Chains A and B, each alone.
Chain A
Amino acid sequence: MNAIVKVENVGMSFDTKKGRFIALQNVNLQIKKGEVVSLIGHSGCGKSTLLNLIAGLTLPTSGVMLCNGREIAGPGPERAVVFQNHSLLPWLNCFENVYLAVERVFGTKEGKEKLKARTNEALEMVHMSHAAQKLPHEISGGMKQRIGIARAFAMEPQILLMDEPFGALDALTRASLQDELIGVMEKTGATVVMVTHDVDEAVLLSDRVVMMTNGPAATIGEILEVKLPKPRDRLALAHDAHFVECRAAILEFLYQKQMKKAA
């Protein structure tokens, strides 16, 4: 298969005051085009570290990271990131925040009108057209995250990286944003890598769930294929046998095999 991202024997260690801290070791992963992959694990297992490595925000200390067959040497707009804390620029309104990204990616080949149309389209996709002229602090946390998602999708990246995109939201808002994301992914056929620690979210959204062992020296423990037809509906899935099975498998991994010592 044509893998967009290849992670081969990647290790990551940090030099701390107490000496060398090995965060990741021997990580091997391939992400295919159009695939949705979740990274799940206990906190501190290095799942965000792995995502940052794919994003190119940090570089691995050993191993090789490839994107389209080329080594990842730094961040780039073909690998868009949705940050956990939305990271909208507070001095730009929602439209301008998205436009900044659109302009950077398409500005050289397209005219202003086309760029504006793209921005409006992205806002429309997450149902935020009404807030285009609002500043980030004037809208709710869930809305900010929608804009963050719109900004990432508007760049039409080859792969979309999301770092606990709904981690800071309440359960109801989170559910509605997940549904929104399902719709957007369906429409765009995007390739997504998502960090989460929500088991239901992982099963609901992904084709594969990558379960990571506890750090230090964390690595990939198991990979679970979720063979549920798309688009998925959370209500129908609640009693689906395969859904329940997948959920149980992840819970078992997290709470039996990788039980964290009481912190």
Chain B
Amino acid sequence: MTTASLTSGLVAVRPEAESAPVVRGEVTKTEDSKMGATTHTDKAAAAPAKADDSVSFDTHLGNFVRKVIPPLLGFALVIGVWALVAMKSADFPGPGKTWDAAVVLFSDPFYSNGPNDQGIGWNILSSLKRVAIGFGVAALVGIPLGFIIGRFAFMNSMLEPIISILRPVSPLAWLPIGLMVFKAADPASTWTIFICSIWPMILNTAQGVQRVPQDYLNVARVLNLSEFKIITKILFPSVLPYMLTGIRLSIGTAWLVIVAAEMLTGGVGIGFWVWDEWNNLKVEHIIIAIFVIGIVGLLLEQLLLLIARRFSYGAN
């Protein structure tokens, strides 16, 4: 199959991979409840007089503790190590100092004293805006292109070598081109977001189109459906999960790249802010920024996972 070579060569991630964490979550949940059930019986055996209500309360409590304690321990460990390192070093702020700085910072996130001194809220928002525009344009271009590549073997063979060469290039390498074309920093960083977001979208959409089950296409053929109905009722819904995987991968990369792009271009944005605070030697602000970037990235990913789950139609 010629069409498969593109996707196999470039390793697009399938929706199965995306549903894996969901499944894993469910498994641990059932395991938890099983464990809960065993402790429940143990306790019931130890104290047979206990009422059912309190036992089930114990089970819930057990589940809760099992779910919450390990992550809390993880955070405690990191903060502990951080505090130790900070004690040994003069430059490195400890958790307490960082926390105080964060409280001050987040008490007024939306102040604005000119372009070089704005609240962290504005910085985050302007980064998100760039990601949204670059990413949106990439979706508008990449998804139809993916459909075309997936549907027509000719287009696939034509574009495959180009995509194979361009895809591994760091999006930041495109930044100078963006600066040259747009003559401004802001659209240039949006342009890098566009470049880095478009590959996963093209590849996953193309793969989704190639993997539309033959059964569904046979149904379309037997019913003799119109091309419009085939696209709306069969192609689009069955490609959707692949498309959403592409989108999720893109947004992850886009959020990684925007920080780096803004460090280079300046302006308003979380990446620029990190660089600015480094110039001001406010290391605690850099640590806060790292947390903020991580949390925003996590939220974006979870949001898309939520959407993806909404559109996954159980296995046949």
Within 8 A of A (CB), among B180-230: 215-216, 218-219, 221-225, 229
Interface: A13 (CB within 8 A): no
Contact A76 B224, CB 8 Å, known A89-B237, A91-B237? yes
One of B64-72, B103-111, B263-271, B308-316 at the interface: B308-316
Contact of B222 with A92 in the complex, beta carbons under 8 Å:
no
Contact of A75 with B221 in the complex, beta carbons under 8 Å:
yes
Q: How far is the CB of A122 from chain B (nearest CB, A)?
A: 14
Interface: B129 (CB within 8 A): no
Q: Which residues of A contact B43 (CB under 8 A)?
A: none
Contact of B237 with A87 in the complex, beta carbons under 8 Å:
no
How far apart sit A100 and B225, CA to CA, in the bound complex (Å)? 9
**Closest chain B residue, CB of each to CB of A155:** B223
Within 8 A of A (CB), among B297-316: 313-316
Bits for A44-82, please: 1 = Cβ < 8 Å to B, else 0. Answer: 000000000001010000000000000000111101110
Contact of B218 with A81 in the complex, beta carbons under 8 Å:
yes
Contact of A91 with B313 in the complex, beta carbons under 8 Å:
yes
Interface: B50 (CB within 8 A): no
Within 8 A of A (CB), among B226-279: 229, 233-234, 237-238
Q: Which of B215, B238, B313, B314 contacts A87 (CB 8 A)?
A: B215
Q: Which of B216, B221, B223, B224 has the most CB of A within 10 A?
A: B223
Q: Which residues of B contact A216 (CB under 8 A)?
A: none
Contact of A89 with B315 in the complex, beta carbons under 8 Å:
no
Contact of A90 with B316 in the complex, beta carbons under 8 Å:
yes
Contact of B221 with A104 in the complex, beta carbons under 8 Å:
no
Contact A100 B222, CB 8 Å, known A91-B313, A137-B316? no
Q: Which residues of A contact B223 (CB under 8 A)?
A: 77, 100-101, 104-105, 155
Q: How far is the CB of A29 from chain B (nearest CB, A)?
A: 20
Q: Which residues of A contact B219 (CB under 8 A)?
A: 83, 87, 89
How far apart sit A100 and B223, CA to CA, in the bound complex (Å)? 9
Interface: A165 (CB within 8 A): no
Contact of A74 with B221 in the complex, beta carbons under 8 Å:
yes
Contact of B233 with A89 in the complex, beta carbons under 8 Å:
yes
Q: Which residues of A contact B314 (CB under 8 A)?
A: 90, 135, 137-138
Contact of A75 with B237 in the complex, beta carbons under 8 Å:
no
Contact of A75 with B316 in the complex, beta carbons under 8 Å:
no
How far apart sit A104 and B229, CA to CA, in the bound complex (Å)? 10
Q: How far is the CB of B217 from chain A (nearest CB, A)?
A: 10
Within 8 A of B (CB), among A124-161: 135-138, 155
Contact A77 B224, CB 8 Å, known A90-B314, A91-B313, A137-B316? yes
Interface: A258 (CB within 8 A): no
Q: Which residues of A contact B237 (CB under 8 A)?
A: 89, 91
Q: Which residues of B contact A105 (CB under 8 A)?
A: 223
How far apart sit A92 and B179, CA to CA, in the bound complex (Å)? 47
Q: Which residues of B contact A100 (CB under 8 A)?
A: 223, 225, 229, 233
Q: How far is the CB of A149 from chain B (nearest CB, A)?
A: 14
Q: Which residues of B contact A89 (CB under 8 A)?
A: 216, 219, 233-234, 237
Contact of B222 with A57 in the complex, beta carbons under 8 Å:
yes
Q: Which residues of A contact B222 (CB under 8 A)?
A: 55, 57, 75-77, 79-81
Q: Which of B218, B221, B233 contacts A92 (CB 8 A)?
A: B233
Contact of A136 with B316 in the complex, beta carbons under 8 Å:
yes
**Closest chain B residue, CB of each to CB of A79:** B222
Bits for A83-119, please: 1 = Cβ < 8 Å to B, else 0. Answer: 1010101111000000011001100000000000000
Q: Which of A57, A74, A77, A137 contacts B313 (CB 8 A)?
A: A137
Q: How far is the CB of B274 from chain A (nearest CB, A)?
A: 43
Contact of A85 with B316 in the complex, beta carbons under 8 Å:
yes
Q: Which residues of A contact B (CB under 8 A)?
A: 55, 57, 74-77, 79-81, 83, 85, 87, 89-92, 100-101, 104-105, 135-138, 155
In the complex, besides A137-B313, A137-B315, 11 extra interface pairs with C-beta distance below 8 angstroms are: A74-B221, A75-B218, A76-B222, A83-B219, A87-B215, A89-B233, A89-B234, A89-B237, A100-B229, A137-B316, A138-B314
